[in-house]
Structure 1
Amino acid sequence: MVEEMSGEHELAMQAKAWPFEEARKLVARYADKKPAKGYVLFETGYGPSGLPHIGTFGEVVRTTMVRQAFQRMLPDVPTRLFAFSDDMDGLRKVPGNIPNQEMVAQHLGKPLTKVPDPFGKFESFGHHNNAMLRGFLDSFGFEYEFQSSSDWYRSGRFDAALLKVLQHYDEIMAVMLPTLGEERQQSYSPFLPISPTSGRVLQVPILERNADAGTIVFADEDGRKVELPVTGGNVKLQWKPDWGMRWSALGVDYEMSGKDLIPSVELAGKICRILGGQPPEGFNYELFLDEKGQKISKTKGNGLSVEEWLRYAPPESLALYMFHKPRAAKKLYFDVIPRAVDDYLTFVEKFDGMEPAQKLENPAWHIHNGRIPDGVKGTAGLTFGLLLNLAGAANAENAEVMWGFIRRYAPGASPETAPFLDRLVEHAVAYYQDFVKPTKRFRAPSEQERAALTDLRGVLAGLPAGAAAEAIQNEVFEVGKRHGFTELRTWFQALYEVLLGQTSGPRMGSFVQLYGVAETIALIDRALHPQASDAGLG
């Protein structure tokens, strides 16, 4: 095993997949020394004013992929991943999707961990959403350590860093003020004091500063001048200074963020350096677009949610979608799911037969940390696209209908012996019912197509029992050629439109083998004699 890891280490140093390229930044960062804190720290940030979403998944899964790559390069250096919740932020508005909104509205401006939980289950609204985040990450099996901003501020673990911010106040203001409008400049301060009377996070000017005493003076909501220490959870920082302070205080080595945050990353990096820290490595990923090419927004509700994706496909396919071209803008909507699932199945199928160096370039390596679990194997060669077409031809209302065909196609397969295939079947039925079935549009065959279908019916009827998919495919080809389809693609599209009611479809040989020769002949008969079929005679 040691030799195996050593060999993988050498290959990892040469691997070209983007997680390895990112990990090499960290290898260079510690080329001459090990981290003084004893580990390399990866971080992902989370704003707990709402529920976890698909961007949360994307950031954690991509960061995890870089972490895994680094662990292969420098296996002797420990790593940690912090999922950091900014739960000290003041609640700015009442979310529209929660109960007890009037009660929550009375606590606007307070830190999220001081707002009562509208669901009545946790200590606060922040604790509720933090629990949702942890449950969300745990459901995918991520290895991480949850961290709470409120805990860090109130426990005093940020005190030394906050005193540094006070000492370097003017330098930080010099970084921040040019980025603000004239009116905002008049009231801006990196410190947001928490009112000792109302408990709200205040956006107010700082009237006096005492670096030696570690205090600031400001006007409270009632107009009284108040002096507070910047330590002990009495203040929090504006989010950009907070980000830079956190990088410095925790010694964050790697954090990625969306392309829209590039200016913020640059500002936080400057503040981190002012405080004596080294900004983390990382990269800015592109944002997802909906089917119209517009940026996906939680507020708009456009695009896909994680829950929606997982209704129609396994999480491994979503991880694959996140792996591919993270620096390229990609559309994220329902049409991309079938291809993502089948691409994932292809990468898993190829994995075991690849050379060790090739495996490191295979996305399945990064999704499964180099070890493909047996649980995702064993789909009897059935693709998701083929299952969707089976669902369409059988008009499947449930998985059991599908398994009736699958058991005949692969006698040893069952939901018990092929649990991953069973999951795919459930997903295929859901996808078919929600997206394929409502759009099915059958058309009548042309005279040329009618003659070819009649010929194909006879060919299928004459096939030997147990004919292989490739042999059936060749016969379908030959029928098309005999009937003058110079572009065989036109012939196959006709089969999809006439027999399946859709514009695209499967390899017909594989489909016929799975669906059944007699059942396919019945499809042809319904297309050739629709009146008889409608009367129940076909």
Structure 2
Amino acid sequence: MTDDRTYAPAARAWPFEEAKKLVERYKAGAPKKGYVLFETGYGPSGLPHIGTFGEVVRTTMVRQAFQRLSDIPTRLFAFSDDMDGLRKVPTNVPNQEMLAEFLGKPLTRVPDPFDKYESFGHHNNAMLRGFLDSFGFEYEFQSSTDWYMSGRFDQGLLDVLRHYQEVQDIMLPSLREERAASYSPFLPVCQKTGRVLQVPVLETNADAGTIVYQDEDGSKVETPVTGGRCKLQWKPDWAMRWHVLGVDYEMSGKDLIPSVQLAGKICRKLGSPAPEGFNYELFLDEKGQKISKSKGNGLSVEEWLEYAPPESLALFMYQKPRAAKRLYFDVIPRAVDDYLTFTEKFAAETPAQRLENPAWHIHNGNPPTTGASLPYGILLNLASVANAEAKETLWGFISRYLPEATPASAPFLDKLVGYAINYYRDHVKPHKQYRAPDAMERKALEDLLARLDAAPADASAEDLQNIVYEVGKQHPFPELRAWFKTLYEVLLGQETGPRMGTFIALYGKAETAALIRQALSGRIG
């Protein structure tokens, strides 16, 4: 910790660059509330998706960096906008006809289509909290419904009412003409139907704390804006929340930059500074389309964790947050192996270098020793060649290659073995396509087979890698890459593959020779 604080001011990793904004914000001392407040927001109109986790883990990384730069206490609120009205029925949940009957009602008053929780909002909140808890985040969950209904937002709502016209002046230029004609920052909650109404506000009375609106049946209704009788449109709501809570830092996606700017203006009109922020790029699915929680495209948190440890997901979120990235199954193996590389490098790095290492940010300065010893990609290819359906199959090879390793002594490696088998079963096996070698490739494979047969029984992975290289150089491949591609396609049924020396040492020299013989005889695949 001492070294961290010593070198943190010079650290250039993006979480430190973000944290320095907050150091500057409070260079004169701590805020009146006594702590710096970080916030992440979540709209529980659909099932939580992986971008939600990304926002929490990235914000946590900035918070950890700030804790090395300042002694001011910090808090992190994970805020759920669960009083929003259900606008449309998500396509990836059951009982959709039932949900359609509750359109317009606050999410915490919509029945849970899964029949597990008090409401749909409670269900989705529980899913979010369950994952955040399992990962070990330090955060405080906050519910919009709780804040509105308890009266803790009352003062903020009255502040918006007192600045009603100024808020309108900020919002109306950003809206289409038709929308602007009936827009109001206040959304009354109908006492007859329970629906959150988007209806014209006819009068405002700041002294009385009320508005008069035209109900859906045409009648005029006067209602307090406090006590959960009204909620705010989401941009004024965001601003009011910053104002009431004193939010100091909140990230958001690049698509929300105009909304952040509007909310910041409203927040300042209410008398509070807007929070510091960071705009990250959006995740894309395998077709290059934006990931949507209502569509359920892209990867879910649960799907990632079926094939890889959560630390690898945190690394994916850390890397290049301002770059749009495909978030699909094929990014998982690289993320796992990159994580292993960073954690292995950490121990040998200087204190200053460690602050630039993603492993520092994933583990708050104290990454574990994984003891994995083998890359995920190698395990995945071994599972592919061995058609493994159980851990014991892979451990049979691993134990010969690493006699000192057992599932008990290398638990992280054992987890990776299980992940690799799952990934092979679901995302490699269904797409394997072997091809026969052409005449030139056949001669190269025969050459490799002869050299493997002649190699010492205890040949190292490096020795075996050199043999593979030499064979590739001796035959008229346009480049060595083409030779390795041949090995992958002919022997593994894939376009990409492992470092062959390590693979052969792990799978076995004799077993690899047998695999080549099968390919040459046309009996593979």
- Please give the TM-score of this superposition, normalised by the length of structure 2: 0.96
Match of 1:514 among 506, 519, 522: 506
Residues matched between the structures, number: 525
TM-superposition CA deviations, 1:45-82 (whole Å, max 9, x none): 111111110110111111111011101111x2111110
TM-superposition CA deviations, 1:307-327 (whole Å, max 9, x none): 222222211111111111111
Q: Which residue of 1 aligns with 2:125?
A: 130
Q: Are residues 1:56 and 2:22 paired?
A: no
Conservation of the 8 A alpha-carbon contact between 2:92 and 2:296:
no
Q: Are residues 1:450 and 2:450 paired?
A: no
Q: Per the alignment, in what secondary structure is the counterpart of residue 422 of structure 1? A: helix
Q: How far apart are the structure 2 equivalents of 1:477 and 1:69? A: 44
Residue 520 of structure 1 deviates from its aligned partner by 0.8
Q: Which residue of 2 aligns with 1:44?
A: 40
- 1:341-360 matches, within 5 Å, as 341-360=336-355
Letter of the structure 1 residue corresponding to residue 150 of structure 2: S
Aligned CA RMSD, in angstroms, stands at 1.8
TM-superposition CA deviations, 1:457-508 (whole Å, max 9, x none): 2322222232211111122223333445573333332222222222222222
Letter of the structure 2 residue corresponding to residue 89 of structure 1: D
Q: How far apart are the structure 1 equivalents of 2:114 and 2:387? A: 41
* Bigger shift: residues 18-27 or 478-487: 478-487
Match of 2:211 among 216, 230, 237: 216
Residue 409 of structure 1 deviates from its aligned partner by 0.8
Q: How far apart are the structure 2 equivalents of 1:493 and 1:96? A: 41
Q: How far apart are the structure 1 equivalents of 2:438 and 2:105? A: 69
Q: Per the alignment, in what secondary structure is the counterpart of residue 475 of structure 1? A: helix
Q: How far apart are the structure 1 equivalents of 2:97 and 2:477? A: 68
* Bigger shift: residues 441-450 or 20-29: 441-450
Q: How far apart are the structure 1 equivalents of 2:108 and 2:488? A: 56
Conservation of the 8 A alpha-carbon contact between 1:52 and 1:136:
no
Q: How far apart are the structure 2 equivalents of 1:298 and 1:369? A: 29
TM-superposition CA deviations, 1:115-173 (whole Å, max 9, x none): 23333333322222222221121122111101011111111111111111111111111
Q: How far apart are the structure 1 equivalents of 2:518 and 2:91? A: 50
* Bigger shift: residues 128-137 or 257-266: 128-137
1:213/1:406 CA distance change after superposition, 3 Å: same
Q: Which residue of 1 aligns with 2:358?
A: 363
* Bigger shift: residues 355-364 or 286-295: 286-295
Match of 1:67 among 36, 58, 63: 63
- 1:155-166 matches, within 5 Å, as 155-166=150-161
Q: Are residues 1:277 and 2:272 paired?
A: yes
Residue 347 of structure 1 deviates from its aligned partner by 0.4
Q: Which residue of 2 aligns with 1:389?
A: 381
Q: Which residue of 1 aligns with 2:492?
A: 500
Q: Are residues 1:379 and 2:392 paired?
A: no
Q: Are residues 1:11 and 2:11 paired?
A: no
Unaligned runs of 5+ in 2: none
Q: Which residue of 2 aligns with 1:170?
A: 165
Conservation of the 8 A alpha-carbon contact between 1:10 and 1:73:
no
Q: How far apart are the structure 2 equivalents of 1:477 and 1:203? A: 69
Q: Are residues 1:31 and 2:27 paired?
A: yes
Conservation of the 8 A alpha-carbon contact between 1:195 and 1:221:
no
Conservation of the 8 A alpha-carbon contact between 1:257 and 1:283:
yes
Q: Which residue of 2 aligns with 1:400?
A: 392
* Bigger shift: residues 427-436 or 352-361: 427-436
Q: Which residue of 1 aligns with 2:149?
A: 154
* Bigger shift: residues 359-368 or 310-319: 310-319
Asked which structure has the greater RCO (Cα within 8 Å, sep 6+), the reply is: 2
Conservation of the 8 A alpha-carbon contact between 1:496 and 1:503:
yes
Q: How far apart are the structure 2 equivalents of 1:125 and 1:114? A: 8
Letter of the structure 2 residue corresponding to residue 396 of structure 1: A
- Please give the TM-score of this superposition, normalised by the length of structure 1: 0.94
1:530/1:108 CA distance change after superposition, 3 Å: closer
Letter of the structure 1 residue corresponding to residue 36 of structure 2: V
1:255/1:521 CA distance change after superposition, 3 Å: same
Q: Which residue of 1 aligns with 2:402?
A: 410
1:433/1:99 CA distance change after superposition, 3 Å: closer
Q: Are residues 1:329 and 2:321 paired?
A: no
Conservation of the 8 A alpha-carbon contact between 1:450 and 1:528:
yes
Q: How far apart are the structure 2 equivalents of 1:362 and 1:84? A: 29
* Bigger shift: residues 135-144 or 9-18: 135-144
1:188/1:408 CA distance change after superposition, 3 Å: same
Match of 1:468 among 453, 460, 484: 460
Unaligned runs of 5+ in 1: none
Conservation of the 8 A alpha-carbon contact between 2:94 and 2:114:
yes
Q: How far apart are the structure 2 equivalents of 1:124 and 1:504? A: 46
* Identical positions, percent: 73
Conservation of the 8 A alpha-carbon contact between 2:485 and 2:495:
yes
Residue 102 of structure 1 deviates from its aligned partner by 4.1
Conservation of the 8 A alpha-carbon contact between 1:87 and 1:113:
yes
Q: Per the alignment, in what secondary structure is the counterpart of residue 442 of structure 1? A: coil
1:346/1:506 CA distance change after superposition, 3 Å: same
Conservation of the 8 A alpha-carbon contact between 1:88 and 1:111:
yes
Residue 99 of structure 1 deviates from its aligned partner by 4.1
